[in-house]
Chain A
Amino acid sequence: MSQSKEIAISKSSVPKIAIIALAAVFALGLFVVGFDQGHLLAPVFGEQAFDQMWLHELTHDMRHAAGFPCH
């Protein structure tokens, strides 16, 4: 009896907005470190972002060490 009540409370206790915000942080952070090849800074710096790949270079060592394909 008490066990089923506990589960019901848990389901209602996680705010949906928090889940959405955390999912967005997850997707963005994963892209920055694991996949960006200049895309994120391209809206500001244009083609130069793809040539220089500042974020890629900044995350380069972690990208290799965490197992992501790098170059």
Chain B
Amino acid sequence: MKTSLFIAIILVSGAIAGTAHGLVNLVLVEPFLDSAIGIENQNLFDSGEEQATPEFWANYYSYRAWQKGGEILAGAILGTAMGALFGIVYSLSKNMLPGKNAVKKALFLALVMWATLYVIPFAKYPANPPTVGDPETIILRQTLYLAFIAISGLGALGFYQVYKRVNKKTIAFAGYAGLMVAAFIAMPANPDPVNIDSGLLAGFRATSIIGMSSFWGVVALVLGTLWQKLGLDRISHQKYQ
């Protein structure tokens, strides 16, 4: 396999999936973000910290345009990053994955990574819209979130090694479940209160899940398809055997 081709396919897959994620967010998540930021603005007016002057609104629309425009670019960057991780894991594990072709294998792996790196951490530290979150606790919250993702991801990797070595496969699943239950109990909750309309919160979180899920689905389909169409397994066989 040509190294540059291998890297390019993985990065392109991630970028395409990330762009799709950004587009989904623009349509589904943005209305909830606008509503949440509207509440944030109202709180600033009520507290006297800001006044609803033409200058304030000009500033507001300017940075919201920057933020909304950035949704696609940030999606592409995050997608490329997560796609790189997905490509590493896929390339190292493809022969052990169930499925008769690259697309099915990639979809299976995406399902596992979606669950361990997104859904399970989300259950402990769910996404929150603007207005929720004290800037003073940002480092703590980032550390907790990253730590929980690392525990879940590395735990899944570790118990996969157990899965390969034991006859009774349920031991590995039970071990991973035990680890995550322990992490749920041991790790502190998000320290910030969530004082926001429950409908807005639920809508934001539901659309956020749809967006991230679309990423994992698209990255698997694109990488699996490219891998298969370009015959990367065959190329690697000839080159590196």
Query: A: which residues have CB within 8 A of B?
Result: 6-7, 9-10, 12-15, 17-19, 21-23, 25-30, 32-35, 37, 57-71
Contact = CB atoms under 8 A, between A and B. Distances in A.
B6 interface: yes
Contact of A22 (B1, B63, B78, B87): B87
A66 B82 CA distance: 12
Given A29-B81, A65-B211, A67-B212, 17 more contacts: A10-B94, A14-B6, A15-B1, A15-B6, A19-B88, A21-B7, A23-B85, A25-B11, A29-B77, A33-B74, A61-B29, A64-B29, A65-B33, A65-B71, A66-B21, A66-B211, A69-B138
A13 B240 contact: yes
Nearest to A31: B81
A13 B81 CA distance: 22
Contact of B84 (A7, A22, A33, A59): A22
Contact of B130 (A7, A17, A35, A64): A64
9 contacts: A18-B6, A26-B85, A57-B70, A59-B70, A61-B68, A61-B71, A61-B74, A65-B207, A69-B138
A61 to B, nearest CB: 5
Interface string B1-23: 10100110011000000000110
B105 interface: no
A67 B81 contact: no
A34 B6 CA distance: 26
Given A57-B63, A64-B129, A26 B6 contact: no
Contacts of B88: 19, 22-23, 26
Given A26-B85, A30-B78, A63-B74, A37 B138 contact: yes
A43 to B, nearest CB: 19
Nearest to A17: B3
Contact of B77 (A32, A64, A65, A68): A32
A24 B122 CA distance: 25
Contacts of B127: 64-68
Nearest to A62: B74
B152 interface: no
B224 interface: no
Contacts of B130: 64, 70-71
B20 to A, nearest CB: 13
B81 A30 contact: yes
A33 B128 CA distance: 16
